[in-house]
Amino acid sequence: MRKPLIAGNFKMHKTINEVVDYAKGLMNSVQGVSDRDILICPPFTALSEVFKIIEGSHIALGAQNMHYESKGAFTGELSSEMLRDAGCDSVILGHSERRHILKEEDSFINLKVKKAVESNLRAIFCVGELLEEREGEMAEAVVKRQIELGLKGLSETDMEKIVIAYEPVWAIGTGKTASPDDAQTMHSFIRKTIVSLFNTNVAESLVIQYGGSVKPANINDLMAMPDIDGALVGGACLEVDSFSKIITFT
């Protein structure tokens, strides 16, 4: 049985005090929810302060990116060791905004995924096609390539630290959500790809989240699909009320 994972990606939103207030509100609001995992990924600046609030609770802390080296001359970057030090147990890698705006390539993302796993961080590894790739019937080929290259060199045991987030780029922050059926088709394809790269056990244990304009109004229909195991939420995680409603999907 896979435990659903609902994760909030704050992107470049909220100050330290705002995240701290948010975390206090969220803890209150989802008290007692234990049959699903909850993760918040605020900006780097707020990580250690928010960890003081949620430490020991059922809300986990993640970062939105990291570098694959442990230390050195990488101005502006943070290492997995630094993220662990700040209280993170998870990190988002390969987000489409980093792939497309910051031009991160599959091989670069692969180095980070490997380093995250080595550092005992859960990697929320994001994949997803552009609108023109979907319209050109390339969606599956693109996602397959991202998975093959992004997870290259990982062992079956390493896969225990991996969550895949399928986020069609055309659905992120646009208000357009993939239909539950279309999302299910891609999630099932992703699981089959994992069977072929690893085996059925790895594929059946893997949590595959959907991301792209998830909101309280569509979470139930998405979560009703057999291969959708959770959500990576951007815009709708920024208010405690809407994120709580998503977390408590039925």
Answer for which of 6, 9, 79, 151 binds ligand PEP (CB under 6 A) is: 9
Residues with active-site annotation = 95, 167
Judged by CB under 6 A, the stretch of 43-51, 53-61, 136-144, 208-216 that binds ligand PEP is 208-216
153 or 173: CB nearest ligand PEP: 173
- Residue of 65, 79, 213, 218 that binds ligand PEP (CB under 6 A): 213
| Torsion 89-56-157-197 (CA) sign | negative
Task: Figure out which of the listed residues 127, 234, 243, 246 binds ligand PEP, where binding follows CB under 6 A.
Answer: 234
Residue type, 67: H
Residues touching ligand PEP: how many (CB under 6 A)?
14
- Tell me the two tokens of residue 130: 């552009």
Q: How far apart are CA 123 and CA 110, in angstroms?
A: 11
CB within 8 Å of 46: residues ≥ 6 apart: 14, 15, 16, 19, 20
The tokens for 136 are 């050109």
214 interacts with ligand PEP by CB under 6 A: yes
Count CB-CB contacts under 10 A for residue 41: 27
**Residues composing the chain:** 250
Q: Are 127 and 167 in contact (CB under 8 A)?
A: yes
Contacts to ligand PEP from residues 162-191, by CB under 6 A? 167, 172-173
Residue closest to ligand PEP when measured from CB atoms? 234
In the bound state with ligand PEP, the residue whose beta carbon lies nearer, of 175 and 226, is: 175
Interaction site with ligand PEP (CB under 6 A): 9, 11, 167, 172-173, 211-214, 232-236
